[in-house]
Amino acid sequence: MASCTIHTAPYSCSISRPAAKAFSLGFHQRHQQLIFFSSGRRSAVVCSAEKTVVIGLAADSGCGKSTFMRRLTSVFGGAAEPPRGGNPDSNTLISDTTTVICLDDYHSLDRTGRKEKGVTALDPRANDFDLMYEQVKAIKDGVAVEKPIYNHVTGLLDPPELIKPPKILVIEGLHPMYDSRVRDLLDFSIYLDISNEVKFAWKIQRDMAERGHSLESIKASIEARKPDFDAYIDPQKQYADAVIEVLPTQLIPDDDEGKVLRVRLIMKEGVKRFAPIYLFDEGSTISWIPCGRKLTCSYPGIKFFYGPETYFSNEVSVVEMDGKFDRLDELIYVESHLSNLSTKFYGEVTQQMLKHSDFPGSNNGTGLFQTIVGLKIRDLYEQIVAERAAASAAAAKV
């Protein structure tokens, strides 16, 4: 087994042998790991001096993950696109620095298989967590993998595609934090928690234009999936480092349109390399209405809240925004009063929000907090890179 003699810990530059057992999954594909043989060039190709940073994003389908992905990849620069020349139904997105993998690709049962067993995609029995763990670990260690593709249109498992280790890997799906082994590989995890009323309103918006759908069918679909969702997906939020909770607004009585939202960013305390954002004074409880003499807002206005709380027996800080942005100056005013945003220059959050003003949620807390989480992840990544550079400098001296 060849190994990199030059680099020592913390880089694990061992080349893994192909897995001994062939994964006999329903679709008859063995995942192969690409082995780089060190032929003279011992250090260059083989040992990726940087282990991939892995981010996990959990949410139910139709809950804005793809919008989040686009905002996130935009923070890092460049647009994420499906791999060129590959399967057109691939769920993967690739940009210069980031690769986004959809965890639906690790379904062990395709649509027919699930129907036979009477199992939803939310059920762990429909997913191959062993393969998920093996492949995410391999990518994190700098080894390219052949990842299966789950075709959402046909409901079948397509032939695999090659995924090369990127600088940042984002795994999005229903179960990124379900398996404890995969959870331990994540450098940062986010859970998008959409309340039932808002979910209903969003799905109506999405599906009502569709022929065949009616209010009853949308409702029935949500209800039928709820038991599995509550049993398998929802519990993951206790493990997340950041939870974005979307609730109906409290500013408009009996609002059922879901246009104005109350969004809470719940940030776990004590997470390595992650400093929660705060309003005015860290650790205190603040209730803030920015609209007044200096700033005029239109109905229903904006309301902020910040404070420490307990969430599933974890210490957390919560920043909450209720209302929506109507004008640019509201956005910049709010940004100037938030702290610990990890922006590189004043107004970066506003700039990012404006860049994607056509995305859903760009005028309320969902877009704001998704953008802020994106900046936090960028900061986390840069901290990791700096740590590695420092470590290698120290190792070189020794």
Q: What is the DSSP string of 53-111?
A: EEEEEE--TTSSHHHHHHHHHHHHSS--BPPTTS-TT---EE-SSEEEEEGGGGBSS-H
- How far apart, in whole angstroms, are the C-alpha atoms of residue 303 and residue 247? 14
- 40 near other proteins (CB under 8 A): no
- 122 near other proteins (CB under 8 A): yes
Axis crossing angle, helix 65-76 with helix 365-397, rounded to the nearest 10: 50
Residues of this chain, 237-256, that bind other proteins according to CB under 8 A: none
Give the range of 137-145, 210-218, 250-258, 274-282 binding other proteins by CB under 8 A: 210-218
In whole angstroms, how close is the CB of 341 to other proteins at the nearest point?
Answer: 23
In whole angstroms, how close is the CB of 50 to other proteins at the nearest point?
Answer: 29
- 292 near other proteins (CB under 8 A): no
Give the range of 10-18, 120-128, 271-279, 301-309 binding other proteins by CB under 8 A: 120-128
Q: Which of 119, 156, 251, 275 binds other proteins (CB under 8 A)?
A: 119
Residues 65-104 as x/- pattern, contact with other proteins by CB under 8 A: -x------------x-------------------------
Query: Which residue, 62 or 308, is less far from other proteins as judged by CB?
Result: 62
* Beta-carbon contacts of residue 1 (< 8 Å; ≥ 6 apart): 14, 15, 17
Strands 278-279 and 338-339: what pairing? antiparallel
Q: Decide if 302 contacts 291 (C-beta within 8 A).
A: yes
In whole angstroms, how close is the CB of 116 to other proteins at the nearest point?
Answer: 9
Give the range of 41-49, 60-68, 334-342, 370-378 binding other proteins by CB under 8 A: 60-68
- 61 near other proteins (CB under 8 A): yes
- 327 near other proteins (CB under 8 A): no
Give the range of 14-22, 140-148, 216-224, 286-294 binding other proteins by CB under 8 A: 216-224
By three-state DSSP, how is residue 314 classified?
strand
**Strands, E, within the chain: which ranges?**
53-58, 93-94, 98-102, 145-150, 157-163, 168-173, 188-194, 242-248, 261-268, 278-279, 286-288, 302-311, 314-323, 338-339
Tokens of 34: 């690409």
In whole angstroms, how close is the CB of 233 to other proteins at the nearest point?
Answer: 12
Residues of this chain, 134-173, that bind other proteins according to CB under 8 A: 152-153, 155
- 356 near other proteins (CB under 8 A): no
In whole angstroms, how close is the CB of 55 to other proteins at the nearest point?
Answer: 22
- How far apart, in whole angstroms, are the C-alpha atoms of residue 172 and residue 164? 17
- 224 near other proteins (CB under 8 A): yes
Q: Decide if 157 contacts 26 (C-beta within 8 A).
A: yes
* Total binding residues toward other proteins, as defined by CB under 8 A: 32
Q: Decide if 258 contacts 198 (C-beta within 8 A).
A: yes
Single-letter code of the amino acid located at 306 = Y
Phi, psi torsion values for 305, nearest 5 degrees: -145, 140
* Sites of contact with other proteins (CB under 8 A): 61-62, 66, 79, 111, 114-115, 117-122, 152-153, 155, 203, 206-207, 209-213, 217, 220-221, 223-225, 227-228
